[in-house]
């Protein structure tokens, strides 16, 4: 089973099609995340996948701590639901995150900037491809 934890409402995009109604708002605390992870583990017994989402979860200042916590609690797969912009724009952050070996659930809408302009409000193809190439 997969559980989804929305860690924040902040986002670095203003997509006209946003289903999360992202914007300024909240970040959950590390303690709140632990309570959610513990509830997931209690209900599942053998927890398989946790997906951190938001807003844009890579903007949460404690996301990597949350990822470490999930792994330490025995959750087999840690997934990040991301638009990939921080991965593309911040190589040092991306290198640090890659050490934790999460599964990346990348928002990728196609191979045309026209598509990104319609769906995301700006041309993002170059950054999406950079996110895919990041190691």
Q: Does the structure show a pLDDT above 70 at 127?
A: yes
Tell me, what's the pLDDT at 17?
80
Tell me, what's the pLDDT at 14?
87
Q: What is the pLDDT of residues 34-63, one digit of tens each?
A: 999 999 999 988 899 999 999 999 999 999
Q: What is the pLDDT of residues 94-104, one digit of tens each?
A: 999 999 999 99
**Residue 22 backbone zone (phi > 0: left; psi -120 to 50: alpha; other: beta):** beta
CATH class held by domain 2-133: alpha beta
Q: How far apart are CA 91 and CA 111, in angstroms?
A: 22
Integer angstrom CA distances of residue 112 from 37, 109, 120: 38, 8, 12
């Amino acid at each position: 089973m997969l559980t989804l934890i929305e860690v924040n409402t902040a986002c670095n995009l203003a997509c006209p099609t946003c289903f999360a109604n992202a914007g300024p708002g909240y970040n959950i605390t590390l303690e709140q995340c632990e309570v959610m992870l513990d509830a997931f583990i209690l209900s599942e017994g053998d927890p398989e996948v946790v997906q951190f989402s938001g807003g844009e979860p890579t903007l949460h200042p404690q996301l990597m701590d949350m990822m470490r916590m999930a792994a330490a609690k025995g959750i087999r797969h840690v997934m990040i639901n991301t638009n990939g912009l921080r991965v593309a724009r911040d190589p040092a952050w991306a290198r640090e995150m890659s050490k934790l070996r999460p599964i990346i659930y990348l928002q990728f809408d196609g191979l045309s900037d026209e598509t990104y302009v319609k769906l995301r409000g700006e041309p993002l193809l170059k950054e999406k491809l950079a996110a895919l190439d990041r190691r």
